[in-house]
Chains A and B, each alone.
Chain A
Amino acid sequence: MPRREILQGNWIVAEAAIAAGCRFYAGYPITPSSELAARIAEKLPHMGGVFIQMEDEIASMGAIIGASCCGVKSMTATSGPGFSLKQENIGFAAMAEIPCVIVNVMRTGPSTGLPTRPSQGDVMQAKWGTHGDHPIIVLAPSFPREVYLSTIRAFNLSEKFRNPVIILLDEVLGHSFEVVDIPDSDEYEIMDRERPPRGSNEFNYYDREPGKPPVVPDFFTGYSVHIESLEHDDRGMPTNAAENVKKQQFLRLAKIEKNLDEILEWKEHYLDDAEIMIFAFGTSARASLEAIKELREEGIKIGLFQPITIWPFPERPLAKKLEKIKKVLVVEMNMGQIIYEVERTASDDVRIDGLFKVDGTSITPIEIINKVKELYL
């Protein structure tokens, strides 16, 4: 039986993480993410899991990677400044292909910024925050139930593709108390990383078919496993032989690029007959949806493209929609970040405008309505 509850967004993530099998959490308090840690600190011991408040965000990120090397599903949560601190070790997880989930409840930046105010300013940092070319998966849900299901999916995708997965919420989504229909466990799948048969011989675990993740043995299961922050060969050992570097870089990207069908998730609202498209995620998508409903009452054919996976960017599904719709308003709580991806995806005959806001308040439906009328009517 699905449960109906009133929960804060941060709590929904905590609840879903536990349902997804998360048994290790390490974090450092920061507004507006702290309630997530509080909730999971209370719940994890009930499942035999471990919660630890580390000395900082760098330590928390290291600890969850360590736990994950032992095969335990692990998560951390933070906001802006803490997200910046985690970047180096997020890169480690991408390089060594260690599953883990990082939640970033975005606040207005840069620097300490506005701790209690929402933002969507970390879109680009989520993808490019750490150095080097590396794959990443970023989910940005909009509604309470979506937050729950995206958290489950974040663990599933991180396990399946052995990659860090980032969940982006914003202060409004993290802090709002809302009614949520918690899905029943038969409404979703739980995935675990592939494991080599116990006690089989040593093997080259970073060598695999393009499109597949490596099968790195868990610690203490009978293998001599070496995990590296340096570029490594098929066996996990450091090397800078050019041929090998090329191979490993390619394999890491290919495991994401070749599985877009499984990774990409998006929603289309009122787009079938639409002449104008709004492109928005997170709480901006919710405000947009409200605006669309009102505009539709006035007879304006407008709809919403709502990506849930924002990295990798849902290029193909968006491009398909843009074959018919030639006007797009990108709504985001930043100075214009995801709009670049929309521009990159669209052909020259598509008109693309932006509605951006960075004053620490969220975008309202009326602002969107006014902008649509100003630009297109």
Chain B
Amino acid sequence: MNLSYEKLIRYEMYPVYWCPGCGIGVVFKSILISFDKLGWDPNEIAFISGIGCTSRMPGYLKANTIHTTHGRALTFATGIKLVKPDKKVVVVSGDGDALAIGGNHFLHACRRNIDIKLIIVNNGVYGMTGGQVSPTTPEGFFTETTPYGNIDPEFDTVKIAEAAGATYVARESVTRPFLLSKIIEKSLSHKGFAVVEVISNCHINLGRKNKMRNQLKMLKWIDERIVPLSKASSMTPEELKGKLVTGEFVNKQKPEYVEQYYTQIIGKVKELQAEFDL
């Protein structure tokens, strides 16, 4: 079968790096479908990542791609967007990549409201390095570096992104691929900094240690915890404990950073140049 998004794939890089059943593949497909649906010309897309399993994605996309250093993808993307304001800049990141080592860059990209799309694949663990605790590992979970159970509280990506100023914030899960594709497509069309957190499975490195040895068990565990935003609004904090609220949390317009730079800064200088005949 020839699917219309196949032209966006670097098949020479296949087979993919990911374990069988990994949720990252679902996210990659959703991104491909979205690019295709939006009719984005691959030559106009920069697709950037840091380091981690999720961050291997750019190698498989036939566009302008960079596999950068751990946690730094947003900084590279910021440089690209600033010098090429009319291009589409998309970043993919793991939870450790985006929220631990890259946490500061994440906050500031949200704050600037720069027109970059960030898709975080949250598998609750450091996948690539063999399953150590991450900022989103659930409390009590066993990982390579929490052999007695995790005591570190979980980060809430959505709340952080919202508080830091992101103008589009959503969460979806790999267990609902149709909704996921829709959300990703919407985030890509948003003007400003968009964050989509995708809840995913790492049955190999997280599941194995927590009674979810295969992907079906783990996907089921994820799916059972999902509560759509519409339903969650009428639930008490006690009822929401341990649940994963999904949906669109923020969707608003605010001046975008790069546009501001070109209109306000360069625009102002041009006015001055004209006025003083510089």
- In whole angstroms, what is the CA distance A149 to B274 when docked? 31
A344 in contact (CB, < 8 A) = no
| Contact residues in A for B62 (Cβ distance below 8 Å) | 224
| Contact residues in B for A46 (Cβ distance below 8 Å) | 269, 273, 278
- Whether A23 and B83, one on each chain, are in contact in the complex, defined by CB atoms closer than 8 angstroms, is yes
- From A66, A237, A238, contact of B66 by CB (8 A): A66
**9-residue interface stretch from B41-49, B149-157, B172-180, B184-192:** B41-49
B68 in contact (CB, < 8 A) = yes
- In whole angstroms, what is the CA distance A266 to B30 when docked? 57
Residue among A46, A52, A62, A66 with max Cβ neighbours from chain B (10 Å): A66
Interface residues of chain B: helix, strand, loop or mixed (majority): helix
- Whether B104 and A55, one on each chain, are in contact in the complex, defined by CB atoms closer than 8 angstroms, is yes
With A45-B265, A92-B69, A226-B58 as known contacts, state yes or no: A62 contacts B64, CB within 8 Å: no
The smallest beta-carbon distance between B102 and chain A, in angstroms, is: 10
Among B93-152, those with CB < 8 Å from A are 104-105, 107-108
- Whether B69 and A59, one on each chain, are in contact in the complex, defined by CB atoms closer than 8 angstroms, is no
- Whether A50 and B65, one on each chain, are in contact in the complex, defined by CB atoms closer than 8 angstroms, is no
- From B78, B80, B105, B278, contact of A52 by CB (8 A): B78
- Whether B59 and A237, one on each chain, are in contact in the complex, defined by CB atoms closer than 8 angstroms, is yes
- Whether A63 and B75, one on each chain, are in contact in the complex, defined by CB atoms closer than 8 angstroms, is yes
- Whether B105 and A59, one on each chain, are in contact in the complex, defined by CB atoms closer than 8 angstroms, is yes
Among B75-94, those with CB < 8 Å from A are 75-80, 82-84, 87
Among A217-260, those with CB < 8 Å from B are 219-230, 237-238
| Contact residues in B for A64 (Cβ distance below 8 Å) | 79
- In whole angstroms, what is the CA distance A26 to B80 when docked? 12
A54 in contact (CB, < 8 A) = yes
- Whether A50 and B108, one on each chain, are in contact in the complex, defined by CB atoms closer than 8 angstroms, is no
- Whether A224 and B63, one on each chain, are in contact in the complex, defined by CB atoms closer than 8 angstroms, is yes
Count of B interface residues, CB-CB < 8 Å: 42
- Whether A66 and B65, one on each chain, are in contact in the complex, defined by CB atoms closer than 8 angstroms, is no
B72 in contact (CB, < 8 A) = yes
| Contact residues in B for A24 (Cβ distance below 8 Å) | 79, 82-83
**9-residue interface stretch from A68-76, A173-181, A297-305:** A68-76
| Contact residues in B for A194 (Cβ distance below 8 Å) | none
B261 nearest in chain A by CB position: A50
The interface size bin for chain A is 35 or more
With A92-B69, A230-B67 as known contacts, state yes or no: A55 contacts B108, CB within 8 Å: yes
- Whether B78 and A59, one on each chain, are in contact in the complex, defined by CB atoms closer than 8 angstroms, is yes
B3 in contact (CB, < 8 A) = no
Among A35-68, those with CB < 8 Å from B are 45-46, 48, 50, 52, 54-56, 58-68
- From B42, B79, B84, B273, contact of A26 by CB (8 A): B79
- In whole angstroms, what is the CA distance A219 to B43 when docked? 8
- Whether B83 and A67, one on each chain, are in contact in the complex, defined by CB atoms closer than 8 angstroms, is yes
The smallest beta-carbon distance between B276 and chain A, in angstroms, is: 11
Residue among B104, B273, B278 with max Cβ neighbours from chain A (10 Å): B104
- From A54, A219, A222, contact of B84 by CB (8 A): A219
Interface residues of B (CB under 8 A from A): 10, 12-13, 42-44, 46, 48, 51, 58-59, 62-69, 72, 74-80, 82-84, 87, 104-105, 107-108, 261, 265-266, 268-269, 273, 278
